Structure 1
Amino acid sequence: MTMAAVIESRTAQAHRPMSGIALIEVISDLAQAEPVWRALEVSDNLATPYQRFDLLAAWQREVGVHERATPFIVIARDAEKRPLMLLPLALRQVFGVRVASFMGGKHSTFNMPLLDRDFAARASAADLDVVLASLRKHGGADVLAFTQQPKRWRDLANPLAKWPHQPSVNDCPVLLMPPGAAPTALLSNSFRKRLKSKEKKLQALPGYRYMIARNDAEIGELLDWFFRIKPVRMAEQKLPNVFAEPGIEAFIRNACMAQLGCGHRAIEIHALRCDAEIIAMFAGVADGARFSMMFNTYTLSENARWSPGLILMRSIIDHYAQQDFRALDLGIGSDDYKRMFCKDDEPIFDSYVPLTARGRLAASSMAALGRAKHAVKHSPALFRLAQRLRGAMQGRGGAPQSEAKTED
C-alpha cells in the first residue's frame, strides 16, 4: 500500500451533490495525517478526547507497532478538498483477514471519527455509502471492525450509527451533570455524609490533599507509584497485568506528558495524597464537557480502609461540576463502585462491515461473537456460569479472560 492513496470513485462523484464528499484519502503515515487531524480536533468540531492525535500517536508508536498494526487513516474531503471526516484506524492481519479498527485498542472507551460539525449535523446514509464504496475500491482492508461507538457525542448523533450495528458487549455507566445542578442532584446527601465521615480519618494525615498533576515532576511521581502498585492490586484479583504488555507503560507515560494547546494533558491525573504517601489516583481524558476515566488504583497501606478511591471520585465529580462539565463516566463495565456514581447508561454500539468477499465471513463471525458475549454479560445466570468456568480455568493455571483496568 502506498503512503497515501486518493480514491475519487464514480460512486463518490455520483453522490457529490447530496453528500459533499468528493474524495477519500487513505494515509499510512501519522505525520502526513497530523495537520488535518489537528484541524478537526478543535472544539468547534465533533470528536471525543480518545481520538486526539497526541493520545493515539503515542499508542501507535508504543503499542501499535508491537501489535503489528499499521496506520490506516481515512480522510473524507469535499470538492474544495476541505476535510469533513477523519477515521483514525489501524490495520491488522487476523487469521489472514485485514481488519481495520480504531486506534487505541482496549485503552479507548469510546471510538468515533473526527468530524466537521456542519458535516456531522447533515451526514446521511448516502455519505456513508460513499465512504464504503471508496474503501472497497481501495482494497486495503477486508473488514471494518468498529467497537464501543457512542450513539451521540455532546449534542450530535454519530453518523456511523447509520451503518448496520448491534449493542456493544459491555455497557458504559455515565453520570449526567445538568447545568446548575445542586451537588445532591449528582450525589445524594447520605452518600456524601458517609464519604465525609471516612475522609475525616484521612484529613488527620499531615499534608492530606486532593490534587491534579500539573507539571512533569508531579506526573512522573504519580505514574512511578501507579506502576508499582497496580500489578499488586491486579494480582490480588487474580487478573493479568495488562500494563506489563509491550509498549503499554511507555504509551501511558507519553500520553500523560503530552501537553495540549489548552495547557491540559492528553491524559489528566487526579490524586489524593499526604506528605507520607500517595493514597489514590484516577487518570482519564477530558474535553471541556466530559471526563472519562481510563485507569486507577489506591494505596496498599492501612489508609485503604477509608475508601480513598470513592472519596477521590467524589472530589473529581465536584471539580468538573464546577467547570460546567455535562457528563462523567468511569469506563466500560458495570462494577459496583461505578454504579454508586453513574446511574445512567451511555448507549454504545459495534459495527462489523465487510469490504471484500473475504471480509464477509469475518464480519459475520465477529458480529455473532459480539452478540454472544453481550447475551452472557446481560444474563445473570449465564454470567455466573462464565465466572465459574473462568475460575476453574484459573485453578488449572489457565489464563483468565478478564482484563480489568479499574478497581473498586
Structure 2
Amino acid sequence: MSSMPSEGAAMTNTALRRDVRLAPAASRVLGAVRIHRDVAAIADLWRDFGTRAAGTPYQMFDWVMAYADTLGRANGETLIVATVEDTAGDLVLLLPLALRRDKATIVATLPGGKQANFHMPLFDPTAIPLLDKAACVNILHEIARTAGTIDVFAFSNQPADWQGIPNPFASLGGHRSPSPGFKRDLDFPPDKTAHVLHGGETRKKMRKKERRLSEIGVLDYRRVVDPLESTRVLDSFLDQKGLRFQQKHINNPFADPAAIAFLKRGSEQMGNREPAIELYALTVGDRIIATFGGTSAGTRFCGMFNSFSTEDDVIKSSPGDLLLTYVIETQCRRGLATFDLGVGEAPYKLVVCDKIEELTDTYMPVSLKGQAYGLADGGMRAAKRWVKQTPWAKALLDRVRQRLT
C-alpha cells in the first residue's frame, strides 16, 4: 500500500473522478465470481489492485491482514476474498469478507469491526456502469452460493461515495448508520493549515501553549518510523487512552491483548512497504505527551485513534490539539486531498472537520436465519442512532453507564 502518492497519481485519481460516469460499458461484461480461501496466494494481486482501485484504506491488503491475524482470529472470524473479473480477464471488484457465527447464523461482514471506520468493496472506477444494483445483488448471491455457508451480508458504515466516485454497494439501500463520519478537504497550502483550522485568537493561544511546553523541554512533532520508537509510542497511547477511558467511565477496547497485537502488527513496516497504520507523536524532552494513528490510501488520510497526556504540567497546553494540527499539515505537504477523523461524534472533530459524511447500514439476507438477523441487528443500530440523536436519551444513557462502571 503506498501512502505517499505522487503528483501524477493525484492527477490520475482526479481524472477518474471526472470521467468515471463516461466510461463505456457496452464492450465490457462481468465474468464469474471467484472465492479465495488461501488469501496469501492473492497478496500480490490484491496489493496491485489496491493501487488503482477505488476504496478505503480499511480494505487494503496489509490493513486487513493486520486485523484478520489478530482481532479477527480472536473473534473467531474466517477471512475469504471474492473477486470479479470482466470477460476479458481484468479485475473489476475485490471484496474481503469476514465470516463469523452469531448463534446459528453465519454473518459476512467486511473485516475490521470497530477498528475500520468505513466499509465498501475495492473496485475499478471505470467499471461503475457495470456495477448497478442488480449486478451487485447477483454478485452477493453468487458469493453466498459459492461459499456455501453465508446467511446474511451485513455492511455497516458504508459511504455513498469515496473521493467523488460512487460506491456501488450503496445502491443496495439500507438505513442511516448510528453515527456519521467527519472530514475536510485539504484544499489549502500547508503553511496555512493553522489559519484554516483555527481563528486568530485560537492561534495566539496555541503559540503560547507551545512556548509553555518548550520551557519543560525540547518540543518535537514527528511521524514515527523507527520500530523501537513505534513500540514506545504505542505503549504511551495505551497508557494515556486507558486512563482516559477510566476517567470517562467507558470500557477500554484496547485492554484486549488482540487489539494491542493488531496495533503493533499494523504499525510494523514490512520490507520496503509503508506500514498499514501510521504513527505520529508530540514529545517534550523524552516524554511522549500526545499520539495519533491513522491509515491512508490514494488521496485520503483516515484518522483511527489518538491520545494525550493528562499530567498537570502539560494538559493545559492541549497537546492533542497541537499534534492534530501538525498531522493535518503533514497530509497537506504530502499532496493528499482529504483528511477524516472517522466515525462517531466528538466536539474536537467539529473544530477541524467542516463536512459530515452520512453513512448507510445494509443487510442482504440469503436465508430465513439471515433475514431474522438483519431485522434484529438493524433494529438495534437504528435504536442506537435514535439515542445518539436524542439529547435526553443520550444523557440518560451516559448516567447509567457511569453507575455501571
Task: Please report the TM-score for the alignment, with normalisation by the length of structure 1.
Answer: 0.86
Q: Which amino acid aligns with 1:220?
A: T
After superposing the two structures, state which structure 1 stretch, 228-237 or 168-177, moved more. 228-237
- 1:36 aligned counterpart, secondary structure: helix
Per-residue deviation, residues 208-227 of structure 1 (Å, max 9, x unmatched) = 11111122122122123223
- 1:60 aligned counterpart, secondary structure: helix
Q: How far does residue 179 in structure 1 lie from its aligned partner after superposition?
A: 5.1
- 1:200 aligned counterpart, secondary structure: helix
1:252 aligns with 2:260: no
Q: Decide which of 329, 348, 371 is 2:382's aligned counterpart.
A: 371
Question: Counterpart of 2:16?
Answer: none
Question: Counterpart of 2:145?
Answer: 137
Q: Is the 8 A contact 2:179 2:344 kept in 1?
A: yes
Calculate percent identity across the aligned residue pairs. Answer: 28
1:150 aligns with 2:159: yes
For 1:321-360, list aligned pairs within 5 A: 321-360=332-371
Per-residue deviation, residues 300-354 of structure 1 (Å, max 9, x unmatched) = 4321221100111111122222223222122221111111211321121110110
| Gap change, CA 1:384 and 1:256, over 3 Å in 2 | same
1:239 aligns with 2:245: no
Query: Structure 2 CA distance, aligned partners of 1:102 and 1:223?
Result: 26
After superposing the two structures, state which structure 1 stretch, 100-109 or 76-85, moved more. 76-85
Q: Is the 8 A contact 1:177 1:186 kept in 2?
A: no
Question: Counterpart of 1:33?
Answer: 42
Q: Decide which of 306, 320, 325 is 1:309's aligned counterpart.
A: 320
Question: Counterpart of 2:98?
Answer: 90
Question: Counterpart of 1:219?
Answer: 230
Q: Decide which of 174, 197, 208 is 1:197's aligned counterpart.
A: 208
Q: Is the 8 A contact 2:28 2:87 kept in 1?
A: no
Question: Counterpart of 1:107?
Answer: 115
Q: Decide which of 36, 57, 62 is 1:49's aligned counterpart.
A: 57
Q: Which amino acid aligns with 1:157?
A: P
Q: Is the 8 A contact 1:84 1:119 kept in 2?
A: yes
- 1:178 aligned counterpart, secondary structure: coil
1:228 aligns with 2:239: yes
What CA RMSD, in Å, does the superposition of the two structures yield over aligned residues? 2.1
Q: How far does residue 55 in structure 1 lie from its aligned partner after superposition?
A: 1.3
Q: Decide which of 284, 290, 293 is 2:294's aligned counterpart.
A: 284
1:293 aligns with 2:295: no
> After the TM superposition, which parts of structure 1 deviate over 4 Å for at least 4 consecutive aligned residues?
16-19, 179-182
- 1:65 aligned counterpart, secondary structure: helix
| Gap change, CA 1:386 and 1:225, over 3 Å in 2 | closer
Query: Structure 2 CA distance, aligned partners of 1:282 and 1:251?
Result: 16
Question: Counterpart of 1:386?
Answer: 397
- 1:266 aligned counterpart, secondary structure: coil
Q: Which amino acid aligns with 1:290?
A: R
Q: Is the 8 A contact 2:249 2:401 kept in 1?
A: no
Q: How far does residue 147 in structure 1 lie from its aligned partner after superposition?
A: 0.6
Q: Is the 8 A contact 1:151 1:161 kept in 2?
A: yes
Question: Counterpart of 2:172?
Answer: 163
Q: Decide which of 329, 347, 363 is 1:318's aligned counterpart.
A: 329
Q: How far does residue 33 in structure 1 lie from its aligned partner after superposition?
A: 3.2
Q: How far does residue 94 in structure 1 lie from its aligned partner after superposition?
A: 0.3
Q: How far does residue 244 in structure 1 lie from its aligned partner after superposition?
A: 1.9
After superposing the two structures, state which structure 1 stretch, 301-310 or 381-390, moved more. 381-390
1:209 aligns with 2:220: yes
Q: Is the 8 A contact 1:121 1:157 kept in 2?
A: no
Q: Is the 8 A contact 1:33 1:73 kept in 2?
A: no
- 1:331 aligned counterpart, secondary structure: strand
Tell me the number of residue pairs that the alignment of Structure 1 and Structure 2 aligns: 377
Q: Decide which of 176, 182, 186 is 1:173's aligned counterpart.
A: 182
Query: Structure 2 CA distance, aligned partners of 1:323 and 1:101?
Result: 32
Q: Which amino acid aligns with 2:48?
A: A
Q: How far does residue 136 in structure 1 lie from its aligned partner after superposition?
A: 4.0
| Gap change, CA 1:260 and 1:81, over 3 Å in 2 | farther
Q: Which amino acid aligns with 2:116?
A: S
Q: Is the 8 A contact 1:72 1:88 kept in 2?
A: yes
1:264 aligns with 2:296: no
Q: Is the 8 A contact 1:132 1:355 kept in 2?
A: no
Q: How far does residue 90 in structure 1 lie from its aligned partner after superposition?
A: 0.5
- Give the unaligned 5+ runs of structure 1: 1-15, 395-408
Query: Structure 2 CA distance, aligned partners of 1:323 and 1:189?
Result: 26
- 1:106 aligned counterpart, secondary structure: helix
Question: Counterpart of 1:6?
Answer: none
- Give the unaligned 5+ runs of structure 2: 1-24
Q: How far does residue 356 in structure 1 lie from its aligned partner after superposition?
A: 1.7
